[in-house]
């Protein structure tokens, strides 16, 4: 599964301004709703419900909020770099500044887990995370995410 199958260039938010986890999830849900045609409140609720089960802050400044969503036909990914790191209740208690949202159809099954695993591996690579933090334009971020993921898969 290539990352270019999960994320499109328009699903990159280079500088997201948010001062809390809830605000970040609201902003991301709004953007995801615009791109998917789904209801913003439903997307926000799906992401928030997942956070209540346990933080999706996976450590090293990275969070991967995710959930299953009725009404979408394929897995949808979106990436955001935060203007300033925020508290996200991450496993290492470090603030988060890189967020990758993943929404999957209800029937996605193992594909959802494979996508989560792929994203987590990519974003935990120190060189990748550093490059993403140093880039502030959509095209550059998209290129870093998709080209790096493809070269790592080879």
Percent of the chain exceeding pLDDT 90 equals 83
What are the pLDDT digits (tens) for 34-93? 999 999 999 999 999 999 999 999 999 999 999 999 989 999 999 999 999 999 999 999
CATH number at residue 78: 3.40.930.10
| Full residue range of the structural domain in which residue 75 is found | 3-153
Is residue 66 part of the annotated active site? The answer reads: yes
Q: Regarding beta strands 66-69 and 96-105, do their DSSP bridges make them parallel or antiparallel, or are they unpaired?
A: parallel
pLDDT at residue 44, as a whole number: 98
Confidence of residue 154 (pLDDT cuts 50, 70, 90): very low
Do the Cβ atoms of 92 and 61 come closer than 8 Å? no
Report whether pLDDT(5) > 50: yes
The sign of the dihedral angle between the CA atoms of 35, 36, 40, 44 is negative
Mean pLDDT of 87-103: 96
Number of domains in the chain: 1
Do the Cβ atoms of 65 and 101 come closer than 8 Å? yes
Mean pLDDT of 145-151: 68
Q: Which of 31, 66, 112, 124 is catalytic?
A: 66
Average pLDDT, the chain: 92
């Amino acid at each position: 599964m290539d990352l270019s199958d999960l994320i499109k260039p328009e699903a990159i938010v280079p500088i997201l301004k948010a001062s809390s986890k809830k605000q970040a999830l609201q902003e991301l849900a709004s953007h995801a709703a615009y791109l998917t045609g789904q209801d913003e409140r439903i997307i926000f609720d799906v992401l928030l419900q997942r956070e209540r089960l346990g933080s999706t802050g996976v450590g090293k400044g990275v969070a991967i909020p995710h959930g299953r969503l009725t009404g979408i036909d394929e897995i949808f990914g979106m990436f955001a770099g935060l203007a300033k790191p925020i508290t996200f209740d991450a496993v290492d208690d470090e603030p988060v500044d890189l967020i990758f949202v993943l929404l999957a159809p209800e029937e996605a099954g193992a594909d959802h887990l494979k996508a989560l695993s792929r994203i987590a591996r990519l974003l935990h690579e120190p060189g990748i995370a550093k490059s993403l933090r140093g880039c502030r334009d959509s095209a550059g971020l998209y290129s870093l995410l998709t080209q790096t993921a493809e070269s790592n898969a080879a």
